[in-house]
Amino acid sequence: MTPSQLDSNGNASVSQQENGFIDSLSILNSEKAVQEIIQQPLIQGIEDNLIEFSEAMRTVAKALRRAAEGKASSQAEAAEWKRKYELERARNLQLEHKVLSSGESNGECDGERTGNSADQTVLSNQTHEKYEVCCGKNGICSHEVLRDGDTNYNFGVVRNKVMRKASFKLSWRYKGENSDQQKHDIVSFEKGNITTAERSSKQISLKWETQPKTVLILTKPNSASVRSLCAEMVRWLKEQKKLNIVVEPRVRVELLMDSSYYSFVETWQDDKEILLLHMKVDLVVTLGGDGTVLWAASMFKGPVPPIVPFSLGSLGFMTPFHSEQYREYLDSILRGPISITLRHRLLCRVIRDEAKNEYEAEESIIVLNEVTIDRGISSFLTNLECYCDNSFVTCVQGDGLILSTTSGSTAYSLAAGGSMVHPQVPGILFTPICPHSLSFRPLILPEHVTLRVQVPFNSRSHAWASFDGKDRKRLEPGDALVCSLAPWPVPTACQVDSTSDFLRSIHDGLHWNLRKTQSFDGPRDP
């Protein structure tokens, strides 16, 4: 090594090694060189440059994330359309096969009626063929409504279980009269003219094709009057209507404490049996308020049997039936036909920041009223980025956001300034909670959209999501909540029809537009 030497100015001159590196030991040995390095002024603006660079990198990361989300969403949509196409194609092939072989099957079945077991087999086969053929003629059949859309669905495997259920048919009605025209396209195009055809959301009527056999009764807890009415109703349904009764485990214990007579009442043992209730139960009766209806809907993650809600709560927008006349109401409903309201639900999924794609989401949650994203106990405003079908909507800065169904429009959304909407209208309400903006007004979005609410990375705090007031989940920066309309509505029985029941509920429950009538003896126009 060659030692460091001082030049004529006294500065340290450093010679390079054969490998091209600077001799750092020589620099450190030169005290004067070290002092000069220390005394050199810092580069101006280096902190500003670092900040700008970090912001640029964050913007790039956000753009990449949005691109990845758009790609994942497109792939999911393509997969869903492919699944629907394959499902429809399989159903058409099965229907064609059944139509072609119906004559031969009926002939063979008539020749095999030699015993009770043979009679049951023939009845089951004929009923199944009838269901397959009737689709698309007169409304919607129950085996279509109560099927969850699984492409691997094997009707033959569960046929014995499904045939125990009462079958029914839904038809569209207009002003209480049967409509000869069935569900058509809403818009038709002919010779260059666009005209409005039959509406899809008419009054809907349910007609039993076979008598109901099993009734599920759900009650409001901790109420002596509800408990007494439940025991009386169970006895009447068993003795007068010869129906099978299913109740919650808690209710069965209460009934058996009153009398051993109620030993015939059935219940379930675990959550797996709850998932199969829709294959066994023909009708659901709720004794309570709107909360009991929400509880009944939450028990069915897929198809929901018709619900008859009796009003035994403090405020009921979904409970039109009075408990005092339950015999007359149930007798009429079991005979049919009855008007029903199809109440739409929201299908919600939480996607964490560490998820690689849209499919790595937590278990889906279905809500009947609303999903709420709020700031919880934090003192900071919520900061939420909202997207509708991958299009940016807005950034919510306030106490939170409500995504509501039209059935939930008279609940939390109404208190936050949202509009009241007829429950038969399909759509999603977009209602801010105390927004820090004078121009932020609520929206009503169409039924087919998918909403995504994400907590941005620059948010000062996390957010909380609650589903129908329960199951609160913490959303960290980067987490997202995805919502769309669920394919399984909640059919609730109407006392008159959906419109009359809705108007009665807002008049009686909210005293909507109630005021004294203007005096007639005041000044008049000349």
Which residues does the annotation mark as catalytic?
Answer: 290
Instruction: Give ∠ CA 242-247-252 in degrees, rounded to 5.
Output: 105
β-partners of residue 346 are 367, 485
Per the CB < 8 A criterion, the answer to whether 407 and 369 are in contact is: yes
- Distance, in Å, from the CA atom of 49 to the CA atom of 308, rounded to the nearest integer, reads 67
Alpha-carbon distance values, 147 to 84, 304, 344, 425, 475 (Å): 14, 10, 16, 23, 33
Residues near 70 by Cβ (< 8 Å), separated by ≥ 6? 390
- Distance, in Å, from the CA atom of 331 to the CA atom of 351, rounded to the nearest integer, reads 47
Per the CB < 8 A criterion, the answer to whether 121 and 163 are in contact is: no
- Distance, in Å, from the CA atom of 70 to the CA atom of 60, rounded to the nearest integer, reads 15
Rg of the chain over all Cα atoms, to the nearest angstrom: 33
Q: Identify the residue whose tokens are 């059919």.
A: 491
Segment holding 214, helix H or strand E: strand 214-219
User: Which residue type sits at 138?
Assistant: N
Q: Coil, strand or helix: which one is 89?
A: helix
Q: What length is written for the chain?
A: 526
Terminal C-alpha separation, the chain: 117
In this structure, the strands spanning 5-6 and 12-13 are antiparallel
Phi-psi region at 192: left, alpha or beta (left = phi > 0; alpha = psi -120 to 50):
left
**In terms of Cα–Cα distance, which of 362, 364, 368, 347 is closest to 486?**
347
SS3 per-residue string spanning 342-392: EECCEEEEEECCCCCCCCCCCCCEEECCEEEEECCCCCCCEEEEEEECCEE
- Number of alpha carbons in the 13 Å side-chain half-sphere of residue 518: 4
Q: Coil, strand or helix: which one is 272?
A: helix
Name the token pair of 124: 């089951």
- Distance, in Å, from the CA atom of 255 to the CA atom of 249, rounded to the nearest integer, reads 10
Segment holding 126, helix H or strand E: helix 116-134
Q: Identify the residue whose tokens are 């007031």.
A: 469
Name the token pair of 268: 């379930």
Alpha carbon 17 to chain centroid distance? Answer: 72
